[in-house]
Each structure stands twice: as C-alpha cells, then as structure tokens.
Amino acid sequence: MKIQKFGGTSVGSAARMKDVAKLVLDGEVKIVVLSAMSGTTNSLVEISNYLYKKNADGANEVISKLEAKYTQHIDELYSTQEYKDRGMELIRERFNYIKSFTNNVFTVFHEKEILSQGELISTGMFNLYLLECGVKSCLLPALDYMRIDKNNEPDTAYIRENLRALLEKNSGYEIYITQGYICRNSFGEVDNLQRGGSDYTASLIGAALLADEIQIWTDIDGMHNNDPRFVEGTKPVSELSFDEAAELAYFGAKILHPTCVLPAKVNNIPVRLLNTMDPKAPGTLISGHQCTNRVAAIAAKDNITALRIKSSRMLLAYGFMRKVFEIFESYKTPIDMITTSEVGVSVTIDNDRHLYDIIDDLKKYGTVEVDKDQCIICIAGDFAADKKGYAGKIFDALADVPVRMISYGGSSHNVSVLINASDKVTALRGLSAHLFN
Ligand code: ADP
Ligand code: ASP
Ligand code: MG
C-alpha cells in the first residue's frame, strides 16, 4: 500500500482539491494524509494568540474572515445541493466549536483543540467530495490512532495497533482519508506533531503499515539543491539517501519536516517528493541508496545561538566534555553543532528557552560567550574521507563570509558551517555558484 500526503497548497482551494482527487483515484487502495488548507493553521494560531490576550473581538474578526472563506470553498467544491448542505453543516459545526473558546479561560489545551480544526475541516471536505463523486471513501480519524508519549515522541506500538485495527474494522474501501499533524498526547488530550508535522504523520503511518512507498506531494518538484526561497536557478535532486535527506530536513529544507525521514529509514520505506502542480515531474526519491562522490544539496537553519565555553582547566583534562554536555541534557536542550580546541568548546542550540540557566551552570567550568542570530549552513552529499576537493570548494565559496564554526567529519554526509544570520543569503548563493555551476 502507498501513503500519499498532500500539503496545504496542494489542497488550498476547491480547484486544487479536485485535482488531488484525480491524482489519488488511480485504482489502487491507499491512505491519503491531508494538511489544513494553506493559511488556515496560521489563522488558527492568530486566533489563539488573541484569545491568550483575552481579545475576543480580535479573535472573532479572524474567525469570521476564515469562515467566510470556507463558505466560498464549500460552494465551489460541491455541485449538488445535498453535498453543499453537508459541507456547510461540517463548517458550521467546526466554527461553532472554535467560537466556543472565545468566552472562556484560554489555556494551551484549548489552543491545541483550535489548531486541530484545520485538518479536521480539510479531510472532512475532501471525504465529502469523494463521496459526491461516487467514490467509496472512508475517513480515518487521526485522533483514534495517532499518539505521542510523555516525551512527545510517537508511541509507535500504539499507532501500529490502533491504525491496523481501524483499517480492519473499515475494510473494503477504495480510499482512506486521514488528518496530518494532529494526534493525542499521553493524557489522551488533543495535541499535534509540531508545525509542518503532516509529513511526519505520513511517515509514521508508512512505518506502522510497512507501506511500499510514502509520497509527499507539495508545491515544488522535489528537494532542490538549494533553498529556492533565497537562491535563483536551483534544481531538483533526483535521488537522496535517507541520511542526506534527514540532514537537509533537520537543517532547514522546509519541504520536509525534520523528523519525518527516520521512521521511513528504520523500515527502509522509500519516500518520494512530488509536485501536485506538475504530477509528471520525476521529483526526488529518498531511499537507502547513496550516490557517491557528489554534493547533493544545501540548506540553512535559522535562529541558532552559539555558546563558547573557555577553560584553562580543559587543558589535558578528562571529564570536562561530560560536565558540559550534562548541563544541556539537564535542560533537555539538544546541541546541533560542536567544535573543540585545547582551551574551549563551542556548541550551538536552536532552543534557547533555558539559555540563561544553561549559561549560569556553564560558568562553573569557565567563561561563557554567547552569540545570538546565527545560522547553520548544511552542505549534504557524499564526503567520504578519501574524496578530495570538497572542503576547498566550500571554503572558496565562503571567502567573503565570516565563518564562526565548521563541522566536518561527524558523518560522511554533511559539512556544517556557522555564520551570522545576516550573511545567510550571500553564503547560500556563493555555495550554489561554486558547487553546482
Ligand atoms: P507543504 O505545505 O506542501 O507541506 P511546505 O511549504 O512545507 O509545503 O514545503 C514546500 C516549500 O519548501 C517549497 O515551496 C519551498 O519554498 C520550500 N523549500 C525550502 N527549501 C527547499 C528545497 N531545498 N527544495 C525544495 N523546496 C524547498
Ligand atoms: N497544518 C499544519 C501546519 O501548517 C501541518 C502541516 O501543514 O504539515 O503547520
Ligand atoms: Mg510542509
């Protein structure tokens, strides 16, 4: 079985939803994962922000605009009065639910309920459309099988067991539609897999069912060799290994959610990135196969903070690194990059929620310097130790950019450099010019 995930732009209007219906109806039984229609989750975040500030008028204004948009979508999507009525009933029910939060105390639990409405609406609308077209379509509620544990990690055993049971109970359909992004947490409350998490839903489903392939359909023809939002003339990469794709997704290639490669890699399920607007384009195939001796692609991760801990006592000392790492561990703050010298160690983090506590604790072991507004540039490819020339080309490309840290050799698939955020675009363009032209 194949899993096909369609992102926000792919289902962003009635016309797009009709195109997606044509794409999924190829005679094969499959699971279709949908995001919210584009812009919806952002509006739901905006509504929640107003409600945290007890600004019901602000929230109601955004709600009304969003509801008006959906009323129009319903009118355009269905051709029969029966389905227009059923569509409007769905919208009214969901929006009444959203409005029910505007007069009460507002907490993070309520926010998560609101954020889940986008995917509940898009899947409900799409399922009704397929039913109107006479397709045997079945809605699989993600809240009945998708679950994270107390560490916010997917509860894979629970997902596998409950999803399989749900499919068995609903056998005989042509298409199964389900919500991306939304899930329950270990308390059974509505939660989510973080922004962009519908990709993760698709790969968790693929892993649970040992699918033949996981397809991520989006608004571009695969993973490009550099970030198309900042660099002109980028090209799709036809093949990536799981490791290359994971590095790129983690280090900022927005086309893939950072964690979505792992479940596919563990179960050796190929992931294909495809373009809803150009379905015939080959896209990108992510698999266990590693193309050798090439730079695959470049990505950039923003909002990085660098910390340098200097200690004269590090000289010839053992145990220093452990003490430093334990401090980050105690604040559940992952380290992205690390470089060392005889007198100090530099690390980067992207979550600075506990930054000041971390600095206080680190000061026991030396002086601490902090640089905010940094950016990690990740160059992914095959850089096995016996391949010559890549480091030289990378440094040539960055000749005009001050480089704060370099990490090479941690894996043979990644070179990372840390620079000021203000130099990001220059660095990305320079790297494309030197590595691909
Ligand atoms: P979806 O809503 O379908 O999940 P996203 O907006 O999350 O789509 O991801 C697709 C977008 O990712 C593209 O439109 C593109 O702007 C951006 N992007 C960033 N880096 C890359 C890259 N290396 N290759 C392709 N797209 C990228
Ligand atoms: N709708 C969610 C978001 O906008 C999840 C997703 O699109 O993947 O973040
Ligand atoms: Mg996305």
- Under the banding of pLDDT at 50, 70 and 90, the label for residue 36 is very high
Tell me what pLDDT residue 410 has: 81
Tell me what pLDDT residue 104 has: 85
What's the average model confidence in pLDDT over 78-97? 98
Residues 6+ apart with CB under 8 A from 306: 346, 347, 348, 370, 371, 374, 404, 405, 418
Among the ranges 275-289, 335-349, 410-424, which has the highest mean pLDDT value? Answer: 275-289
Q: Whose CA is nearest to atom 4 of ligand 2?
A: 41
Tell me what pLDDT residue 358 has: 97
Mode of pairing for the β-strands spanning 338-340 and 284-287: unpaired
Mutate to test the pocket of ligand 2, among 6, 121, 198 (most ligand atoms within 8 A of CB): 198
- Under the banding of pLDDT at 50, 70 and 90, the label for residue 371 is very high
- Residue 408 structure tokens: 């090479």
Q: Whose CA is nearest to atom 5 of ligand 2?
A: 196
- pLDDT of 10 > 80? The answer is yes
What's the average model confidence in pLDDT over 56-80? 98
What's the average model confidence in pLDDT over 261-288? 97
Tell me what pLDDT residue 292 has: 87
7 in ligand 1 pocket by Cβ < 6 Å? yes
- Under the banding of pLDDT at 50, 70 and 90, the label for residue 266 is very high
124 in ligand 2 pocket by Cβ < 6 Å? no
User: Is residue 307 within 8 Å of residue 351, measured between CB atoms?
Assistant: no
Which ligand is in closest contact with the Cα of 34?
2
Tell me what pLDDT residue 385 has: 64
On average, the pLDDT of the chain sits at 95
Least confident of 68-82, 195-209, 386-400: 386-400
Percent of the chain with pLDDT over 70: 98
- pLDDT of 315 > 60? The answer is no
State the closest ligand 2 atom to the C-alpha of 194, by its place in the atom list counted from 1. Answer: 9
Mutate to test the pocket of ligand 1, among 37, 227, 254, 256 (most ligand atoms within 8 A of CB): 254
- pLDDT of 4 > 80? The answer is yes
Which of 307 and 340 is assigned the larger pLDDT?
307
Tell me what pLDDT residue 387 has: 73
36 in ligand 2 pocket by Cβ < 6 Å? yes
pLDDT in tens, 148-195: 999 999 999 999 999 999 999 999 999 999 999 999 999 999 999 999
State the closest ligand 2 atom to the C-alpha of 7, by its place in the atom list counted from 1. Answer: 7
Tell me what pLDDT residue 103 has: 86
- Under the banding of pLDDT at 50, 70 and 90, the label for residue 27 is very high
Could you tell me which of 153, 180, 132 has the C-alpha nearest to residue 31? 180
Which of 226 and 104 is assigned the larger pLDDT?
226
State the closest ligand 1 atom to the C-alpha of 273, by its place in the atom list counted from 1. Answer: 25
Percent of the chain with pLDDT over 90: 89
- pLDDT of 384 > 80? The answer is no
Tell me what pLDDT residue 343 has: 81
What's the average model confidence in pLDDT over 134-154? 97
Tell me what pLDDT residue 314 has: 60
Mutate to test the pocket of ligand 1, among 181, 220, 375 (most ligand atoms within 8 A of CB): 220
pLDDT in tens, 208-235: 999 999 999 999 999 999 999 999 999 9
What's the average model confidence in pLDDT over 96-123? 96
Could you tell me which of 134, 62, 50, 124 has the C-alpha nearest to residue 87? 124
